[in-house]
Amino acid sequence: MKFDKIVLLGSNGMLGMAWQALLSSENVNYIALTRHEVDICQPNTFHHIDSDASLVINCTAFNDVDGAESKCGQAFEVNARAINSLSDYCTSINAKFVHYSTNYVFDGKKDLSCGYHENEMINPLSIYGCSKALGEYILKTSSCDYLLIRTSWLYAPWGNSFLTKMVNFDKPSIKVVNDQYASPTSCEHLASCSYSLLNASKFGTWHVTDGGMVSKYEFAVAVANFMNSFYVVLPCASTEFTNSANRPHNGVLDISNMRKELNYISNWKTNLEKAIKQLSRVI
């Protein structure tokens, strides 16, 4: 499907920057709008979204998982109420709408032998997960033509992610939980897969991550090894941390539908190595 004009919201965020690079490489006509230009919680700023836009991509979210426990109102404002306003606006200008959600809408109680598929019942454990789940419900019950993509453990060689935090860590050792599992996902890979779905006129709800599953500890070890870091990564249980929010034990998303559509999904290690090489050229 061809889109004459694409509007990208949250364009200076981690995922938004990946989308900008992709659209520029594809010579696509797009408008990049930052959170300062369009505040998705303020519909009176929506006039910056061109009325002739054929596609609106929302890369804006409240994603402070622990912070959401004490900032409940803000989390629901950004992740749920704003989606109602945005989807209504997209319907009014006849634009398709892309929105991202999270594996944290699931409780993670499934056996690690299988991931969560798109139609499985959600049961979030945290305020963050609940706010994203409500945003999903609002979008699914709207009259908007949407592409809703759930993903997990996003990172990029820029911005504030687990990867950049690990790279900049400057102490002798770091403890990382070894009882939370998911699929680390490169923002560049996520944007590319999202774009492929759009080009194939695929809408509705999809799961998109990098291939493979890993514990947060194993992911941290891989980062340290790729970077030849001096510090030691130590495994620990989630109970050793006093985080405000509960996180799923099994946060793996079933991406079999995505695999069938694209025929190939690159492995998380391949994408991580690529991101670190990019990051190494910067630092």
pLDDT in tens, 7-39: 999 999 999 999 999 999 999 999 999 999 999
Retrieve residue 53's tokens. Answer: 């836009």
Task: Tell me the C-alpha distance between 140 and 147, whole Å.
Answer: 10
CB 276 within 8 A of CB 227: yes
Structural domains in the chain plus CATH codes:
6-216+242-282 (3.40.50.720)
The model scores a pTM over 0.75: yes
Retrieve residue 49's tokens. Answer: 């979204």
Q: What pLDDT, on the 0 to 100 scale, is given for residue 171?
A: 84
Residue 39, phi then psi, degrees to nearest 5: -90, 110
SS (H, E, C) 178-194: CCCEECCEEHHHHHHHH
**By percentage, how much of the chain surpasses pLDDT 90?**
81
Say which amino acid occupies 220: A
CB 149 within 8 A of CB 99: yes
Retrieve residue 164's tokens. Answer: 């950049």
Task: Tell me the C-alpha distance between 98 and 204, whole Å.
Answer: 10
Task: Report whether pLDDT(243) > 80.
Answer: no
Q: What pLDDT, on the 0 to 100 scale, is given for residue 20?
A: 97
CB atoms within 10 A of CB 213: 19
Task: Tell me the C-alpha distance between 133 and 51, whole Å.
Answer: 28
pLDDT in tens, 128-187: 999 999 999 999 999 999 999 999 999 999 888 888 888 888 888 989 999 999 999 999
Task: Tell me the C-alpha distance between 74 and 61, whole Å.
Answer: 10
Nearest alpha carbon to residue 40 among 71, 97, 90, 81 = 81
Q: Which residues contact 280 (CB under 8 A, 6 or more apart)?
A: 227
